[in-house]
Amino acid sequence: MRLLLAGAALLSAAAYYVYLPLPGGVCEPVKLMLLDALFRSFIQASDVAHALGVCHRVHLLNRVVSWVEEVEARSCSAVHVTDSQLGGVPARVFQPKGGRRLKRGVVYFHGGGWALGSGRMRSYDRLCRKMAEDLDCVVVSVDYRLAPEAVFPDQYHDALAAARAFLSAPVLERYGVDPQRLCVSGDSAGGNLAAAVAQELGSDRGAAPRFKLQALIYPVLQALDFHTASYQQNQAVPILHRPLMARFWLQYLGADASLEPLLLANNHSALDQRAKLDWTALLPAERRKHFRPVVREGGAAGALPGLTDPRAAPLLAESAVLSATPKAYVMTCEFDVLRDDGLMYARRLRDAGVAVTSDHYEDGFHGCMVFAFPPVASAVGRRSINGYVRWLDQNL
């Protein structure tokens, strides 16, 4: 009887920890709750280790990710896979066997808040293999430096160096890539880097060859406003909670972690800065819903100089810069704090004269595309990856 009672108590405690009220309409909520409980456990363990001085919280998380997710570069019958370097930056290269003599080419930047993850992770390895095989495309997955050792603009410089190297004639010739069919892409923080690289290289009028496309997957594009409609609606929705995104930004900008409450209260940027990002004008009514701006006079703008740097926050770039960027694909998910970053960027690109495909998933959540494969496969993950690959096939 005691064992039964103890078991029931443990099950109740586990259910209480796992259960999280989720909005109606989110895809496969039970799977999402389980994923979130696992991720929360790792974050809490890393916070404890950090507080005890054992190691930095990011280092513990990355060790866990490496142990669970990282895989060797293994070729298969359809794709040749090697670990290499581009512009001095580590990268994993996926080359399809056979097919066209000249291949399409994609430079891909992984997500992880500029602090976590790697192109060597199983999920990204599978994504890039699928792209290489389905598109007959050379895919280069870039391993830029990570916080806390690297802070802005280090990650940006790595991404730019790798992209410039890939666009060089010797590299294109080495991998048999068609210089007219090139794309820069990434998800989340990687989408941020892809957008920033597209802006920089688009502004270089003398550059040749150039990217034909930019494909941004639920990108993070600004840190001026942590109370956009999507931040308010989805602040507690897995797997990217609003406090975690604030922490990622502070790590990326090399700022003190004690500023987190200011970011979450929207008390970190000057009012004239935030005027550059009027989401009430940039978002359609169905996305704004009943939410209203949270306006407070900033108190930490001087400690966060990267807030208004378009290399860190591509959404803030001038229209002339946006107009020089390539044709765009922007994926967004309804239940994602970053939804409005992507929607506003798509709007600003269109206003600047850039052709944009906005691909929105009403039941999607942040990170869903990398959950397209077993054992954590979700239906929206499969739909989103198929939509992304289909767009590339039709446009690249």
Residue 374 to residue 212: CA distance in whole angstroms: 32
Bridge partners (DSSP) listed for residue 91: 84, 142
For the segment 158-181, the average pLDDT, to the nearest whole number, is 97
Band (301; pLDDT cuts 50, 70, 90): low
Q: Are 213 and 392 in contact (CB under 8 A)?
A: yes
145: Cβ contacts below 8 Å, ≥ 6 apart: 154, 155, 158
Q: What pLDDT score was predicted for residue 52?
A: 86
First to last CA, the chain: 65
Nearest residue to 250 via CA among 312, 311, 194, 161: 312
Q: What is the DSSP secondary-structure string of 166-183?
A: HHSHHHHHHHTEEEEEEE
Q: Is the residue at 52 inside a domain?
A: no
230 is catalytic: no
Q: What pLDDT score was predicted for residue 13?
A: 41
Q: b or e along 18-52 (b: 16 or more beta carbons within 10 Å of the residue's beta carbon)?
A: eeeebeeebbbbeebbebbeebbeebeebeebbee
Q: How many Cα atoms within 13 Å fall on the side-chain side of residue 383?
A: 14
Per-residue pLDDT reduced to its tens digit, 116-125: 999 999 999 9
Nearest residue to 134 via CA among 396, 395, 390: 390
Q: Is the residue at 340 inside a domain?
A: yes
Considering the candidates 188, 230, 269, 378, report the single residue annotated as catalytic: 188
Q: What pLDDT score was predicted for residue 251?
A: 95
Tokens of 3: 């064992």
Look at residue 2 and tell me whether its pLDDT is greater than 80. no
Q: List the single range of 41-45, 301-305, 327-331 with lowest mean pLDDT.
A: 301-305
Look at residue 68 and tell me whether its pLDDT is greater than 70. yes
Q: b or e along 148-180 (b: 16 or more beta carbons within 10 Å of the residue's beta carbon)?
A: eebbbbbbbbbbbbbbbbbbeeebbeebebbbe
227 is catalytic: no
Compute the residue count for the chain.
Answer: 396
**Domain range for 357:** 66-222+305-395
Q: Is the residue at 271 inside a domain?
A: no
Q: Strand 177-187 vs strand 213-217: parallel, antiparallel, or unpaired?
A: parallel
For the segment 96-116, the average pLDDT, to the nearest whole number, is 94
Q: Is the residue at 131 inside a domain?
A: yes
Per-residue pLDDT reduced to its tens digit, 201-243: 998 877 779 999 999 999 999 999 999 999 999 999 999 999 9
336 is catalytic: yes
How distant is the alpha carbon of residue 24 from its chain centre? 24
Q: List the single range of 34-38, 74-78, 119-123, 214-218 with lowest mean pLDDT.
A: 34-38
CATH number at residue 202: 3.40.50.1820
For residue 152, which amino acid is it? Answer: F
* Mean pLDDT over each residue of the chain, to the nearest integer: 90
Considering the candidates 123, 268, 366, 384, report the single residue annotated as catalytic: 366
Per-residue pLDDT reduced to its tens digit, 317-326: 999 999 999 9
Q: Is the residue at 37 inside a domain?
A: no
Total domains present in the chain: 1
Q: Is the residue at 121 inside a domain?
A: yes
For the segment 116-135, the average pLDDT, to the nearest whole number, is 95
Residue with tokens 């090399």: 254
For residue 123, which amino acid is it? Answer: S
Q: What one-character DSSP code corresponds to residue 306?
A: G
> What is the share, in percent, of the chain residues with pLDDT greater than 70?
92
For the segment 383-389, the average pLDDT, to the nearest whole number, is 97
187: Cβ contacts below 8 Å, ≥ 6 apart: 109, 110, 111, 216, 217, 218, 219, 367, 369, 370
Q: Is the residue at 261 inside a domain?
A: no
Degrees, nearest 5: CA angle 90-213-170: 45
321: Cβ contacts below 8 Å, ≥ 6 apart: 199, 202, 203, 310
Cβ burial of 76 (10 Å; 0-12, 13-18, 19+) is exposed
Q: Is the residue at 314 inside a domain?
A: yes
Considering the candidates 178, 336, 341, 359, report the single residue annotated as catalytic: 336
